[in-house]
């Protein structure tokens, strides 16, 4: 019996476009977060509003990835990474909402972990998409 990675189940059914777009949008949004925060710290204080707005908007791809892994059986192989990403996102929101300087100082580090997890998830999604379709046996 041939073993394959669990993200390679039902390759003939493909990866939903919305799932792939969510996996691609998340690291781009997080990169935007880093750019806006850095620019707000050193140049233009008005960019904190953009930083917050993008942070809230990132809930859409995070929830889409988590929902996809929970509801679509062929995407369950991504569940661990989607769950980790969601957990880090919720932690990020909690760190930003707290007024205490110590937790707030952990916000950039958690953001880096979140970006790393989102890049791993994206790599796994793209790896699944790159797999050749299994040949069908004609009888």
pTM: 0.86
Write down how long the chain is.
139
Query: What rounded mean pLDDT belongs to the chain?
Result: 89
Q: Which residues of 41-64 are buried (b: 16+ CB within 10 A; e: fewer)?
A: eeeeeebeebbeebbeebeebbeb
The confidence score (pLDDT) of residue 115 equals 97
What would the pLDDT profile of 102-123 be if each residue is shown by its tens digit?
A: 788 899 999 999 999 999 999 9
SS3 content of the chain, % helix, strand, coil (to 5): 80, 0, 20
Domain ranges of the chain: 13-130
- DSSP assignments along 81-137, one per residue: HHHHHHHHHHHHHHHHH---HHHHHTHHHHHHHHHHHHHHHHHHHHHHHHSPPPPPP
pLDDT (tens digit per residue) in 5-21: 577 787 778 899 999 99
User: pLDDT band at residue 137, thresholds of 50, 70 and 90?
Assistant: very low
């Amino acid at each position: 019996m041939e073993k394959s990675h669990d993200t390679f189940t039902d390759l003939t059914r493909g990866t939903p476009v919305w799932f792939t777009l969510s996996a691609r949008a998340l690291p781009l949004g997080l990169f935007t977060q880093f750019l806006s925060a850095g620019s707000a710290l050193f140049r233009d204080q008005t960019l904190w509003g953009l930083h917050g707005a993008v942070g809230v908007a990132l809930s859409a791809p995070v929830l889409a990835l988590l929902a996809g892994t929970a509801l679509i059986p062929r995407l369950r192989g991504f569940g661990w990474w989607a769950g980790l990403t969601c957990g880090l996102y919720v932690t990020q929101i909690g760190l930003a909402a707290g007024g205490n300087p110590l937790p707030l100082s952990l916000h950039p580090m958690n953001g880096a972990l979140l970006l790393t997890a989102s890049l791993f998830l994206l790599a796994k999604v793209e790896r699944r998409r790159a797999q050749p379709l299994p040949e069908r046996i004609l009888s």
